[in-house]
A and B are shown apart, each in its own frame.
Chain A
Amino acid sequence: MRNVAIVGIGYTPVFVSKRRDVCIPEMISEAVENAFKDSGLTPADIDAIIFGNMHTFEGVNLPHLWCADYIASLGKPVMRIATGGTTGMAALHAAYYHIVSGLHDVVMVVTYEKHSEGDSQVGLLGIITPEIMAMLALGIDVTGQSGMGAIGGGSAGGISYQASSYLAHSGAGIEHIDAIAAMERRNAAKNPYAHLKDPEATAEKIAQTPLVSYPIRFGHICPTSDGATVCILASEEKAAKLADRAAWVWAVSNCCSDATTGNLIEGIITDPAEQMPAVIASRQAYERAGIEDPKKEIDYVEIYNGFAHQTLMFLEKIGMCELGEAHKLLEKGELEMSGRLPVNASGGVVSTNSIGTSAMNRVTECALQIMGRAGEHQVEKEVHKALAHGWGGLMQYVTITILADKPKKP
């Protein structure tokens, strides 16, 4: 299979709650311009474009059509990908397949979300709108514990079940969720593209934020951000000509579970903290990348953590540590930027979340760490191989991308 490299990354200048100064296509175009600047490429170099976002959050449909002029797409193949939280990485994977299929050489992935224009809770609740409607029609109370009023896809109600289950099984406590959230907000303070930053964040400070739904506190929850990320991928032949620095894609994988896993439509059928797709997808990615012992071979990890406990939970699921071990690594400081297994030096999704970009930013942040271009939030250890994790759907999708500092040997 052909080797594929990430050769350009462009973010909007900021990721914030509200971009009042730009419309959707204008905001996207900022990231497109930055990706061209970063890579030294021009629109003429791009063979195809992948466009990803979750349009129900803004109440817009098929924005790639009316943003076509702003994303250097005219005359090119454009593919729209939308898979919920994993959208950004699913779009990047589509770009990867555009290239490894041999059909295209240079592909640009455009992802964005402008949450401020719509109601994100409405967007999340929209995942189960038909079920809520049917329950209302049957006279079932959807606001109580037995219902789904607070649940939605990745919203705090449903997630609290996942977090409780995780704590019960792992031996971690709510204080560990506070601590990991604090670590990520501190990391975010060093990342110019992060949204919620607090250089002084501590577990104690997070512990003082209100409890939303046990054990999830306000300080454990991601914000809704306005922002866009663009990433340019190229085949090995083109990458050699186009960019003097690159991060190489060694493997991509994804796995989905059934939506009834971990939601309450028919009662809890499966443990929402089981996250079998993370186990399957990560194993498949390691196999594809030829990685035998991820604990030894992977230097850096970006976890999709809409909620802070997920950093710890998914580290275990993807085999970066033993089950129940993540909070111990946290206690020892090993997950810090200076640690043995640095995680989410970017601040993670819990600090910055414009949904279409969230899973993509996990990959671009891994790429920056590998290229040594993460600036203030560059981790101390050398990063040769990194893993990016994406999560979404009704708690059921996982995507994995493994990057390295050199092309994979055939």
Chain B
Amino acid sequence: MGATEEAFITPAIPMDFTYNYRIGLYMTRYLEGFKERKIMGSRCSGCRKIAVPPRKYCGVCNKIMDEFVELPQEGTLENFTVGHVVLEKGRLNPAENPYLLGLVRLDENASLLLARVEGLDPAEARPGMRVKAVWKDQVEGDYGDLDHFAPA
């Protein structure tokens, strides 16, 4: 190479664009459920598995998941990690405090839902713990309405 970094122009100009993602029928049903503090999933007509959040297709069966089902608010913490970093806009920064992120199973046939887990010391987390959904005080059909899970 031979060139020094100073030899290159390295412009840093931020670019912000707005994208308008359409979320489709299935995600709309999920967020509509949030307005009533409900967690909705969709069941595959083939393997009977439930996807949370709901979606149109079960790729394994190549079948449409056209049955919407409401899931219980309480489930099992099956897997978790303690985060010591946060990824923000593609950069890795240290977290203020270690935090728990878990995969929660709400029904034995349902897929695992990734969520923040609060209300316990991350060091105390164990697979198999029972946890329950904690909602924001005001729910408005937004992704953030289902705030976190906490020990049941």
**Is B one of A's binding partners?**
yes
Q: Which residue of B is nearest A129, CB measured?
A: B15
CB of A175 closer than 8 Å to a CB of B = no
Q: Is B2 an interface residue (CB 8 A)?
A: no
Closest B residue, CB atoms, query A138: B9
Task: Determine whether B119 belongs to the interface, using a CB cutoff of 8 Å to chain A.
Answer: no
Q: Which residues of A contact B91 (CB under 8 A)?
A: none
B22 within 8 A of A: yes
Contact partner of A69 (CB less than 8 A), chosen from B9, B20, B22, B59, is B59
Chain A: interface size category: 20 to 34
Q: Which of A26, A114, A122 has the most B CB atoms < 10 Å from its CB?
A: A26
Judged by a CB distance under 8 angstroms, whether B29 is at the interface is: no
> How far, in Å, is B139 (CB) from chain A's closest CB?
22
Q: Contacts A133-B13, A134-B9, A136-B11: A23 and B22 contacting too (C-beta < 8 A)? A: yes
Most B CB atoms within 10 A — which of A19, A42, A118?
A: A118
B97 at the interface (CB under 8 A from A): no
Which residues of chain A in 112-160 are interfacial with respect to chain B, using CB atoms and an 8 Å cutoff? 114, 116-119, 122, 129, 133-134, 136-138
Residues of B within 8 A of A129 (CB): 15
The verdict on A137 contacting B59 (CB below 8 Å), with A21-B22, A118-B19 known, is: no
| In the complex, B25 has a CB within 8 A of chain A | yes
A43's partner among B17, B25, B26, B62 (CB-CB below 8 A) is B62
* Residue from A20, A73, A119 within 8 A of B22 (CB atoms): A20
Closest to A36 in B: B62
Chain B residue with Cβ nearest A125? B15
- B58: interface (CB < 8 Å): yes
Q: Please indicate the chain A residues that have their CB under 8 angstroms from the CB of B38 in the complex.
A: none
Q: Is B23 positioned at the interface, with any CB of A under 8 Å from its CB? A: yes
- Say if the beta carbon of A14 comes within 8 Å of chain B: no
Query: Considering the complex, which residues of chain B in the window 1-38 have a beta carbon less than 8 Å from any beta carbon of chain A?
Result: 9, 11, 13, 15, 17-27
- Most A CB atoms within 10 A — which of B23, B55, B56? B56
Q: Taking the complex as formed, is A329 at the interface, i.e. its CB lies under 8 A from any CB of chain B?
A: no
Residues of chain A lying within 8 A (CB to CB) of residue B27: 23
Provide the residues of chain A in CB contact with B123, threshold 8 Å. none
The residues of B that contact A69 with a CB separation of less than 8 Å are 55, 57-59
**Cβ of A74 < 8 Å from any Cβ of B?**
yes
Contacts A69-B59, A70-B56 given; indicate if A59 touches B24 (C-beta within 8 A). Answer: no
A20-35 interface bits toward B, Cβ cutoff 8 Å, 1 = contact, 0 = none? 1111111001000000
Please, how many residues of chain B have a CB less than 8 angstroms from a CB on the other chain? 22
Establish whether residues B21 and A23, one from each chain, have CB atoms under 8 Å apart when the complex forms.
yes
Q: How far is the CA of A22 from the CA of B24 in the complex (A)?
A: 4
- Whether A25 pairs with B11 at a CB distance below 8 angstroms is no
A116 B11 Cβ-Cβ under 8 A: no
A70's partner among B9, B11, B13, B59 (CB-CB below 8 A) is B59
Q: A134-B11, A136-B11 are in contact. Are A117 and B20 (CB under 8 A)?
A: yes
User: What's the Cα separation between A74 and B15 when bound, in Å?
Assistant: 36
Interface: B92 (CB within 8 A):
no
Is B60 in contact with chain A by the CB < 8 A criterion?
A: yes
Whether a CB of chain B sits under 8 angstroms from the CB of A321 is no
Q: Give complex CA distance A21, B58 in Å.
A: 20
CB B57 to nearest CB in A, in angstroms, measures 5
In the complex, A134→B8 CA distance in Å?
10
CB-CB under 8 A from A114, the residues of chain B are: 22
| Residue on B nearest A126 in the bound complex, by CB | B15
Q: Which residues of A contact B21 (CB under 8 A)?
A: 23-24, 117
> How many angstroms from the CA of A58 to the CA of B15 in the assembled complex?
15
Chain B contacts of A74 at CB under 8 A? Answer: 59-60
B56 touches A137 (CB 8 A): no
Among residues of B, the one whose C-beta sits closest to the C-beta of A44 is B62
Q: How far, in angstroms, from A19 to B56 measured CA to CA in the complex?
A: 16
Give the distance in Å from the alpha carbon of A119 to the alpha carbon of B15 in the complex.
13
A26–B19 contact, CB under 8 A? no
Of all chain B residues, the one with the shortest Cβ separation from A30 is B56
The verdict on A70 contacting B17 (CB below 8 Å), with A21-B25, A22-B22, A23-B22 known, is: no
User: Which of these, B15, B20, B56, contacts A116 with CB under 8 Å?
Assistant: B20
Closest to B51 in A: A69
| CB-based nearest A residue for B62 | A43
The answer to whether B59 touches A25 (Cβ under 8 A) is no
The 16 listed contacts between A and B (C-beta, < 8 Å) are: A21-B22, A21-B24, A23-B24, A26-B24, A26-B25, A69-B58, A73-B59, A74-B59, A114-B22, A119-B17, A119-B19, A122-B17, A133-B11, A134-B11, A136-B11, A138-B9
> Which 3 pairs from chain A and chain B are nearest by CB?
A69-B59, A23-B24, A137-B11
* 9 more CB-based (< 8 A) A-B contacts, given A69-B59, A74-B59, A122-B17: A26-B26, A72-B59, A74-B60, A117-B22, A119-B17, A119-B18, A119-B19, A129-B15, A134-B9
